[in-house]
Structure 1
Amino acid sequence: MSHLVSVSELNELISTGAGIRLLDVRWRLDRPEGRPDYLEGHLPGAVYVDLDGELSAKGRPEHGRHPVPPIEALERAARRWGLRDGDVVVAYDDVKSVAAARAWWLLHRAGVDVRVLDGGLGAWVAAGGALETGDVAVAKGDVHLTDSTAGVLDIDEAADFPETGVLLDVRAPERYRGDVEPLDPIAGHIPGAVNLPTLAHVAPDGRLRGADELRETFAAVGVRPGVPTAAYCGSGITAAHTALALEEAGIDAQVFPGSWSEWSNTRGRPVARGILPAGDVVTP
């Protein structure tokens, strides 16, 4: 089953009168507070989700910039969004589904039937979908989330992963090479990681590329069904998007949610620089 839903499929789901919960997960690095944009216009009935405050935990720098929230905190947030057991949840954003994928990854692992609106807000508007303004107040939900560590790598597991599988660094090439690092204290990548930016999986219209095209892109860097695969990024957000793309390609994957922000803030971790996975390794 696909973890994506098209605009037409979403309209069909809404028309059935089933329990559909829409989550507006607008967030981006340059504008992390998406509520002002949400208030100016969102899908009818959508509840705003605060990625920094609800899809992440607070922690020390060595925990990374967006640690995974405890299941109790995520469940409280999900109930605030009005989620009930058995609901179908659809998450969307306005940045090529990168932020929505974070909600998908967390909720999917917790046992929720959750999809991502393919193409996000742009696809909805392009199809003539109506928007409403202002906040949406919903009754508190009663959803029960399942605590699971499946598919999650810690920092030591991420360090060892290239020995037995493919560890994908899904950041921009210049950050992978170590040419620049705008957010974290050290530039470079985890030794052995292969670079494949997550936006390679997005078509010009903002939708995820088709499964065959995704499989071809992944195969070019050695990722195929049956090959252990994991992804990391800057702080665990875009890695969730790559995990979504891998799922659509029929490939199981794990995520290192601490990602480069945790690695670069942990003393003694080696850093590779250059275009090759092994790179020129230094230990800061």
Structure 2
Amino acid sequence: MNAIISASELAVESAGPNPPLILDVRWQLSVAKAAGESPFDGRAEYAAGHVPGAIFVDLETELAGEPGPDGSGGRHPLPDVDAFGAAMRAAGVRADRPVVVYDGGQGWAAARAWWLLRWTGHASVRVLDGGIAAWTEPLSTEATQPETGDFVPRPGALPVVDADGAAALARDGLLLDARAAERYRGDVEPIDRVGGHIPGAVSAPTTENVAADGLLLAPDVLASRFRGLGAEDGGPVGVYCGSGVSGAHEILALAVAGYEAALYPGSWSEWSADKSRPVATGPERG
């Protein structure tokens, strides 16, 4: 699966006869609001400068649904399919036009958009490797008005598991926890009800999939990493994180390495909200 594109490749394709549609999905996981600080504003970042021709897409309102009152679905539930389709058409997404998504460089938000579009059946979606930080051409401050697209989402093109399915993968396959190692161990938990991890899950921080320059590691290096974590050719692999965002980046890295993995969208925010679910702590799988 060709899941990423370099900045130089994007520049060439954008100047060509069939340029891809570019989506700007800048977003940050932040507890600033709880601390009384101003939260990150992706639209303001977009207005200040974006890849020419890019359309802004908001993760919180267009790439996620409303959290359930009991924690079901997690902090960033999958969006309503019809609402997601409408948002993508408004952004200009067409079934026959390649899409490139980027964010501020962390890759999590871009991977969420990539995963949603691929899950709902779009055949050609790539993430700008390194995000906007990798783009060395001039930025634009002009808002682009896209023509309405025709994309109709058809979920099911990528595998998904629920909480029971994640527990089964942790027991009988490989379930990777994409959060920081200290959250996996339960040393700290700044966001969710309780710290720790799904019993049987393996710690695999998403941050270890990228090099110091913010670019994804080479496919062979990623493949070696995932084999070391227990991935086997053809064996079932699943991923979860805090709320299904950074986990999408882990699935992107797995795809680049040649592995298909299922996402548990509710992730730890959903699992930990259910007091009947077991919690493991410490560095071992539990």
Q: Is the shorter-chain TM-score for this pair beyond 0.5, marking a shared fold?
A: yes
Q: 1:177-236 CA deviation, whole Å, 9 max, x = no partner? A: 001100001111000000010110001111110011001111111113222111000000
1:41 aligns with 2:49: yes
Q: Go from structure 1 to structure 2 and tell me whether the alpha carbon gap of 1:98 and 1:268 turns closer, same or farther (over 3 Å shift).
A: same
Partner SS state of residue 227, structure 1: coil
User: Aligned residue for 2:262?
Assistant: 254
Structure 2: which 5+ runs fail to align?
31-38
What secondary structure is seen at the aligned counterpart in 2 of 1:116?
A: strand
Match of 1:123 in 2: 134
Equivalent residue number for residue 66 of structure 1: 76
Q: Is the 8 A contact 2:118 2:158 kept in 1?
A: no
- Name the counterpart of 1:281: none
In structure 2, distance between residues paired with 1:240 and 1:122: 20
Equivalent runs, 1:180-219 vs 2, <5 Å: 180-219=188-227
Q: Please state whether the residue corresponding to 1:272 is helix, strand or coil.
A: coil
1:16 has 2:16 as partner: yes
**Which residue of the partner structure matches residue 116 of structure 2?**
106
* Equivalent residues in 2 for 1:66-85, closer than 5 Å: 66-85=76-95
1:102 Cα offset (Å):
0.3
Structure-2 residue corresponding to 1:282: none
| Aligned-residue offset at 1:150 | 4.0
Residue of structure 1 equivalent to 2:156: 148
Size of the aligned set, in residue pairs, is: 275
Greater than 6 Å deviation, 4+ residue runs = none
Contact 1:79 1:142 (C-alpha < 8 Å) held by counterparts = yes
Matched, 1:87 2:87: no
Equivalent residue in structure 2 for 1:229, among 232, 237, 253? 237
Partner of 2:184: 176
Query: What is the alpha-carbon distance in structure 2 between the residues aligned to residue 121 and residue 224 of structure 1?
Result: 34
Tell me the TM-score normalized by structure 1: 0.93
Q: What secondary structure is seen at the aligned counterpart in 1 of 2:235?
A: coil
Which residue pairs with 2:34 in the alignment?
A: none
Partner Cα separation in structure 1 for residue 280 and residue 215 of structure 2: 32
2:249 is the alignment partner of 1:238: no
Q: d(CA) in 2 for partners of 1:32 and 1:52?
A: 12
Give unpaired runs (5+ residues) of structure 1. Answer: 279-284
Q: Give CA-to-partner distance per residue, 1:98-135, whole Å, 9 cap, x none.
A: 1100000000111211100111101103xxx1101143
Q: In structure 1, the residue corresponding to 2:273 is in which secondary structure?
A: coil
User: What SS does the aligned partner of 2:188 have?
Assistant: coil
Give the deviation of 1:260 after TM superposition. 0.3
The answer to whether the Cα contact below 8 Å between 1:81 and 1:140 also exists between their aligned partners in 2 is: yes
Give the superposed CA RMSD.
1.3
**SS state at 2:72 partner:** helix
Report the Cα distance in structure 2 between the residues aligned to 1:203 and 1:39, rounded to whole angstroms: 29
Give the deviation of 1:12 after TM superposition.
2.2
TM-score normalised to structure 2 length: 0.93
Distance in 2 between residues matched to 1:161 and 1:32, nearest whole Å: 35
> 1:148 offset after TM fit, Å?
1.8
Query: 1:243 Cα deviation (Å)?
Result: 0.2
Structure 1 residue 167 and structure 2 residue 175: aligned? yes
- For 2:214 and 2:172, locate their aligned partners in 1 and report how far apart those are by CA, in whole Å: 33
Partners of 1:40 and 1:134 within 8 A in 2: no
